[in-house]
Chain A
């Protein structure tokens, strides 16, 4: 069971907008620790998608955006494309565990 909670799956049609939630607790996200998001295509290593809750690394399309409120964060993808089909993970730091924590991952299916 992961420290950060994500829905196991989401789906959407091409062109639509989807959001993936990531809920934590007062010992991680609620303590003010940043959340980062990763995209993992099948058979590959994760790729940093969003850092510091809402910032995109160079090269990441602006269709991807992140937000944070209290103990929850969200990743939004607008204008869904077939190539967005992947697993998405949130990540933060946990004071109680004194270490990095990941969400359980969300599988995005583009219909």
Chain B
């Protein structure tokens, strides 16, 4: 059974870089047929897709964050990460990592989620 766990600082200062890591257990980030995703949720608001890493090495980031967000993976540690530069208060929220199926597997839903980690951007 695949398990995901986010880790990283809970407080980041404005203009600095937010860095989070998602450790995968019970599975491999190199497994074919899956995207490894980052999603965030501002306080009291809905889900917002950040971006993903695909097992073939490609990454994708939502257009509004492309200038600030980087998704990377460390296969030796079986984890993937997100870095968001020049953060502001609007980047405050719960950050989730998740696994999404490639439609080639039959569906493209997010079937495994981490518990989420709260990140506040504040002085």
Chain A 39-66: CB-based contact to B (< 8 A → 1; otherwise 0)? 0000011111001100101000000000
Determine if A103 and B46 form an interchain contact, defined as CB atoms under 8 angstroms apart: yes
What's the least CB distance linking A49 to chain B, in Å? Answer: 9
Determine if A46 and B113 form an interchain contact, defined as CB atoms under 8 angstroms apart: yes
| In the complex, chain B residues whose CB is within 8 Å of the CB of A99 | 49, 51, 60-63
Q: Give the residue of B37, B63, B108, B110 whose beta carbon is less than 8 angstroms from that of A97.
A: B63
> Most chain-A CB neighbours within 10 Å: which of B48, B106, B110, B113?
B110
Chain B 52-77: CB-based contact to A (< 8 A → 1; otherwise 0)? 10000000111100000000000000
Count of B interface residues, CB-CB < 8 Å: 27
Name which residue of chain B comes closest to A37, CB basis: B109
| Chain A residues touching B, majority SS | strand
Which residues of A in the span 84-100 have a Cβ within 8 Å of any Cβ on B? Answer: 87, 89, 91, 93, 97-100
Quick check: is A69 within 8 A (CB to CB) of the other chain?
no
Quick check: is A104 within 8 A (CB to CB) of the other chain?
yes
**Given A45-B116, A52-B109, A93-B108; A101-B49 close (CB under 8 Å):** yes
Quick check: is B79 within 8 A (CB to CB) of the other chain?
no
What's the least CB distance linking A86 to chain B, in Å? Answer: 13
Give complex CA distance A58, B12 in Å.
39
Determine if A105 and B113 form an interchain contact, defined as CB atoms under 8 angstroms apart: no
Q: Give the residue of B62, B108, B110 whose beta carbon is less than 8 angstroms from that of A34.
A: B108
Give complex CA distance A85, B109 in Å.
22
**Given A98-B60, A99-B63; A48-B46 close (CB under 8 Å):** no
